[in-house]
């Protein structure tokens, strides 16, 4: 099922261009996007992380992404961390941050907030209407080509299509 939070964010902030400019959407939502910098002493505890969603000491929502990972991985991480903010997993006075190691992006994780953030990321990077347009209006059904258009991994595209019921394998 498509998440209402994704629909609301896309309706208000997406220009219908592909790939979805997830960094632009985060900025429009007043969320700062930054890279993990291993040379910055403040990032010493970020080693080994793919991403981090947090509220800093000034109350600003921030997403950190590991800049040494592939572009597709960074895009999914950014969308995943945006999901933590949009879905209320990171809130003042509740949880001030979510730390994500690469294993957090596994669909078999036991943590429901991680699974929900993964679902959010897939839906926002590969919007249902855009998937339908590619499949049914443009006749593009090759997973590799779709992954290239949406700038996601082939695995992410495969699971998105499978979860939508467009693949029966």
Write the CATH number for 64.
1.10.10
Residue 145 has what pLDDT?
98
* Burial label, 9 (beta-carbon count in 10 A; 0-12, 13-18, 19+): buried
Q: In what order do the strands lie in the sheet with 51-55?
A: 31-36, 61-66, 51-55, 97-100
The C-alpha atoms of residue 90 and residue 98 are separated, in whole angstroms, by: 7
**What is the extent of the structural domain holding 36?**
4-125
- Domain assignment present for 157: no
The C-alpha atoms of residue 69 and residue 134 are separated, in whole angstroms, by: 27
pTM of the model: 0.89
- Domain assignment present for 163: no
- Domain assignment present for 168: no
- Domain assignment present for 109: yes
Question: 79-101 burial by CB neighbour count: b if 16+ within 10 A, else e?
Answer: bbbbbbbbbebbeeeeeeebebe
Using a pLDDT cut of 90, give the percent of the chain over it: 66
- Domain assignment present for 77: yes
**Total structural domains within the chain:** 1
Place of tokens 């992404």: 65
- Domain assignment present for 81: yes
- Domain assignment present for 84: yes
pLDDT digits (tens, 9 = 90+) for 42-82: 777 777 788 889 998 888 999 999 888 899 999 999 999 99
Report how far Cα 118 is from the mean position of its chain's Cα atoms: 7
């Amino acid at each position: 099922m498509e998440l209402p939070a994704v629909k609301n964010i896309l309706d208000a902030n997406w220009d219908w261009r592909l790939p979805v400019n997830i960094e632009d959407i985060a900025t429009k939502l007043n969320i700062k996007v930054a890279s993990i910098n291993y040379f910055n002493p403040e990032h010493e505890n970020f080693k080994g992380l793919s991403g981090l969603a947090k509220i800093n000491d000034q109350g600003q929502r921030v997403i950190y992404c590991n800049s040494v990972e592939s572009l597709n991985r960074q895009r999914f991480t950014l969308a995943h961390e945006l999901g933590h903010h949009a879905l209320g997993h990171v809130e003042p006075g509740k949880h001030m941050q979510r730390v994500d190691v690469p294993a957090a992006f596994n669909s078999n994780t036991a943590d429901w907030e991680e699974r929900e953030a993964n679902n959010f990321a897939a839906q926002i990077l590969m919007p249902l209407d855009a998937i339908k347009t590619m499949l049914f209006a443009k006749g593009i059904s090759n997973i590799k080509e779709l992954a290239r258009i949406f700038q996601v991994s082939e695995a992410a595209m495969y699971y998105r299509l499978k979860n939508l019921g467009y693949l029966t394998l």
